[in-house]
Amino acid sequence: MSSDGRSGPRRIAVIGGGWAGLAAAVRATEHGHRVTLMEMAAHLGGRARSVEHSGRSLDNGQHILVGAYRDTLALMRQVGVDTDAVLYRQPLAIVYPEGDGLRLPSGAPVTAFVRGVLGWTALPWRDRIGLLALALRWRLNGFRCSPSMTVAQLARDCPARAYGELIEPLCVAALNTPAGQASGQVLLTVMRDALFGARGAADLLLPRAPLDDLLPRAAARWLQDRGAQVVCGQRVMRLQATESCVLVDEQAFDQAIVAASASEAARLLAPAAPDWSRDVAAIRYQPIITAWVEAPQARWARPMMALRADAWRPAQFAFDLGALGGPAGLFALVVSGAAAWVEAGTDATRTALLQQWAQAFPAREHGPVRWVASRTEKRATFACSPDLKRSPAAVHPRVRVAGDHVEGPYPATLEGAVRSGLAAADGLHAAA
């Protein structure tokens, strides 16, 4: 209902143009409302956008999507993105430079997992059976565990090598939180829906176009073509929700979706929802460092490689961007759950990353390597720990919150952000 009491198209403000805000704006427009999207940065996309770095257009951080990202893929297609063209699809493989690791064959998920584990020949037979027994136990328990359990506790019976080369990397890639601090229940949910979900759900979808081309650019065009307003460079300073309207920096709307970062949402909603705001302001974060190097002679068998990470080796994954449509010879190294490396400092991290590269890809085979740039996102995602309290989306009859931090079963991901945006728009649309 609009502020004058009539039903029909409403004026809806969407605050924040990350993937949650874009999803919310598209869905609200689809519902027939008049949408104004306000983004404080000069560009849309939030944490998943392209940025200029050392004179090159690079992504804000290397992103991976998986086949289970149902709503994200549908949204991309809805706004006209050819997902087959911009994403490189491969069955899940956590494979190390020497060529060993878990490779799932394509096919039905459970069979693929069993065949993948049995085919992991570098793992002793006893360990392969131990890993399968553990996965079977998780499945029989309905992928549920005590909410207070960490991933390390959940997987305490896992054979050591399978833990270090599969569970830890999966955990840090999906939850961006080290296994000793990460929520066992959230990892189980991810495994249920990705590894043991629908056919193809576990497939890795690696961007082979800049992040801007995966959604933000096409979504902006789609919105503008349908009469929505997309305003960049406008930081919303004040939101006042009343019984009859929502004032966004003095501009009146019928409803609003706050899809800003968690800290900004907490600030904007402090007057309307003080308890909600306090909980959201208390969220703790985990950083991600992405580093780019040039190694013109390096040749990999696959575009994504797992790396052995420990206290001296920061990166868990590396990507051959040349094989993914980027400049030949450019590689990205990803350090997830990177709090310790942020503390160690930029120089120490750079030295350690170059040493890790040299060890994993010796110069005699892969030629020389040159540092290009690095980027640290200190608040890349929330720390996905068992004690994390996530807050609901409905904060006021006229206001919904969207964003990866909103209550939900998944870690901070593009899919979590998109689903929250769609749900916020649907929720407001359904509100009387």
- The nearer residue to ligand FAD, 151 or 205, going by C-beta atoms, is 205
Closest to 306 measured CA to CA, from 330, 325, 333, 337: 333
The DSSP bridge pattern shows strands 394-396 and 34-39 to be: unpaired
Point out which span in 61-69, 178-186, 295-303, 353-361 binds ligand FAD (CB under 6 A): 61-69
Among residues 10, 12, 21, 101, the one that binds ligand FAD under rule CB under 6 A: 21
| Residue 68 in tokens | 């289970």
**According to the binding rule CB under 6 A, does residue 207 interact with ligand FAD?**
no
Which residue in the block uniquely carries the two structure tokens 């009539």? 6
**According to the binding rule CB under 6 A, does residue 337 interact with ligand FAD?**
no
CA separation (Å) from 423 to 2, 218, 382, 407? 20, 21, 20, 11
Q: Which of residues 211-270 bind ligand FAD (CB under 6 A)?
A: 235-236, 259-261, 264
Beta-sheet strands, E only, within 76-186: 87-90, 93-95, 101-103
- The nearer residue to ligand FAD, 31 or 43, going by C-beta atoms, is 43
**According to the binding rule CB under 6 A, does residue 132 interact with ligand FAD?**
no
- The nearer residue to ligand FAD, 249 or 294, going by C-beta atoms, is 249
Q: Which of residues 277-336 bind ligand FAD (CB under 6 A)?
A: 288, 290
Among residues 12, 13, 14, 17, the one that binds ligand FAD under rule CB under 6 A: 17
**According to the binding rule CB under 6 A, does residue 210 interact with ligand FAD?**
no
Q: H helices within 238-287, ranges in order?
A: 262-269, 274-281
Beta-sheet strands, E only, within 122-270: 204-207, 229-232, 239-241, 246-248, 251-253, 255-258
| C-alpha R_g of the chain | 22
- The nearer residue to ligand FAD, 61 or 130, going by C-beta atoms, is 61
**According to the binding rule CB under 6 A, does residue 113 interact with ligand FAD?**
no
- The nearer residue to ligand FAD, 14 or 188, going by C-beta atoms, is 14
- The nearer residue to ligand FAD, 73 or 380, going by C-beta atoms, is 380
Give dist(CA 221, CA 226) in Å, integer.
9
What percent of the residues of the chain are helix, what percent strand, and what percent coil, each to the nearest 5? 35, 20, 40
In the complex, the residues that contact ligand FAD under the rule CB under 6 A are 15-21, 38-41, 46-48, 60-61, 63-64, 235-236, 259-261, 264, 288, 290, 377, 380-381, 403-404, 412-414, 417
